[in-house]
Amino acid sequence: MMPVLDSQKYHLYSASCRPEIWKELERKDHPLNTAWPVFLDQDTCYQKYASRLAKCPGLAEFQYAMVEEDCGQETIAACGRSIPFYWPELDQIGGRVGLSTHPEVLKTLPDGGYDAILTRGFNQFLSRQGLLPPKPPSAVHTIKPHPVDYIDDICYRSEHPNALSAISITVHPARRSVGLAEAMIQAMKLTAMNKGLEMLVVPLRPTRKSEYPLVNMAKYINWHCQQYAPDRSLPFDPWLRKHVRLGGKVIQVAWNSMLIEGSIAAWQQWTQFDKWRVHSGSLKLEKGTNRLYIEVSFTGGLVPMRLYVGEDRCTYVEPNVWLYHDLNV
């Protein structure tokens, strides 16, 4: 059963109407910032765009904070970031009504997941404002985006957005299981509907995948939770299960959703180095570069990272899961 949020105690505000809340969230030691693994904060696209979402008129209204009010005191209990974007393939089939005959369009969401959609949404916003620098000649015939910045032709489109992507939802550790995450998802769906957008999509980070770093993501998301009888078809992963219960539908794995690179010393600082696990027999040759690497699992990683032999370099490429929400459900 879904928890029912106490509407007398919790109040939702956008960054456009309560910008001072988001000033508070700029503190690195805020509980909503320390809830995420430190290494994820090193993602290049996150560092470049995420902090700017609440500061841009036109994007601030898509950033949410749930505030707990108690005896005149306010506590930021949860926050959610999202970004509208133009999805040309969805436009070509006439919007969500065309999905019944063209469901394959859902699979045109970028394999770059989180990084790609954040980059796309923000640069399209700049393009609509006339603030995006001209496209360099070398980008005109780009087939695949750069693995870090994800600037491609679609980033230069200036059409009105037709979809909304969640970027993150974070709940204060002491306020979980009271319905805040569900309220954030519903708020994003409602905002998308009110803005005339077609659907909400999510590059979801499964919360328990880090317990099974060697399990293929495509296999993991098909695990079912046997304890939730009578509906045993619900996903095993609790975050994925929550979205499915709210009407979300899995599309596909975004295999290259986040990219974090750094020296061995940097990774030692970001993670619990004493708990790294080098997998026996994992010495491999990287296709295309012929670089030797070993796979290393670490606390919080959904998959092992690559530690390159003879180089002071580690690379972590995180897969996430694309899913979508019909706004009418």
| 73 φψ region: left (φ > 0), alpha (ψ -120 to 50), beta (else) | beta
| 94 φψ region: left (φ > 0), alpha (ψ -120 to 50), beta (else) | left
Give residues with Cβ within 8 angstroms of 320, minimum separation 6. Answer: 113, 114, 203, 204, 205, 206, 253, 254, 257, 258
Task: Identify residue 5 by its one-letter amino acid code.
Answer: L
Q: pLDDT by residue for the chain (329 residues), tens digit each? A: 557 688 889 999 999 999 999 999 999 999 999 999 999 999 999 999 999 999 999 999 999 999 999 888 999 999 999 999 999 999 999 999 999 999 999 999 999 999 999 999 999 999 999 999 988 776 544 434 445 568 899 999 999 999 999 999 999 998 988 899 999 999 999 999 999 999 999 999 999 999 999 999 999 999 998 665 456 789 999 999 999 999 999 999 999 999 999 999 999 999 988 889 888 677 899 999 999 999 999 999 999 999 999 999 999 999 999 999 999 87
Task: Identify residue 306 by its one-letter amino acid code.
Answer: R
SS3 at position 157: coil
Residue count of the chain: 329
Domains of the chain and any CATH numbers: 10-133+145-260+318-326 (3.40.630.30)
